[in-house]
Amino acid sequence: MFCYILFFPTTVPRPLLKGDDIFIKAVNFIYKRDNPYNCFPSIHVLDSFLAAVYINREENISYKLKITSSVISFSIILSTLFIKQHYVYDALSAMVLAYIMYYSLNYAAIVEKIRQKPLLRLMNKGTLIGALFHTAFYSFVNVLNFNIFIEVI
């Protein structure tokens, strides 16, 4: 338990805010309504990152909406760090947890999409390590929705 508290504190000390402008008032509003504990992993980051991943994987959603979703998600992640709601590793652990959730909930669809790629079918006849490498590569690329890059390969 001591190691968990030492390396992954579940509270974030907040700075004393001085001033009376609109930004100080906005941060004080957030501080009063969102407690500074239970920070690991960041649910703010988990929700926004997972929403962006699901939006970016859809083929029938416009590119403009995908970019907008990604920018909003990235802004939420940065804001949790700049407002002193979370540490960097709270955000990183939430992103890892989001990918674990995404893969575990969409495993069959991901495997089917990977099997449809012609280069992977050729690699399945080759070595096991080559097939595993290309499976991991195509999974990563599909999640990031780089379909243009895959078509070139």
pLDDT tens track for 28-77: 898 888 877 777 888 889 999 999 988 988 889 998 999 999 999 999 99
Angle at CA of residue 148, ends 109 and 115, nearest 5°: 30
- Per-residue confidence band for 2, with pLDDT thresholds at 50, 70 and 90: very low
pLDDT per residue over 80-136, tens digit each? 888 888 888 888 899 999 988 888 888 777 777 767 765 555 555 455 555 555 556
Give the pLDDT confidence score for residue 1 in this predicted structure.
Answer: 36
What is the C-alpha to C-alpha distance for residues 138 and 111, in angstroms, rounded to an integer? 10
Residues 18/23/25/27 CA torsion (nearest 10 deg): -90
What is the C-alpha to C-alpha distance for residues 151 and 153, in angstroms, rounded to an integer? 5
What is the C-alpha to C-alpha distance for residues 67 and 86, in angstroms, rounded to an integer? 25
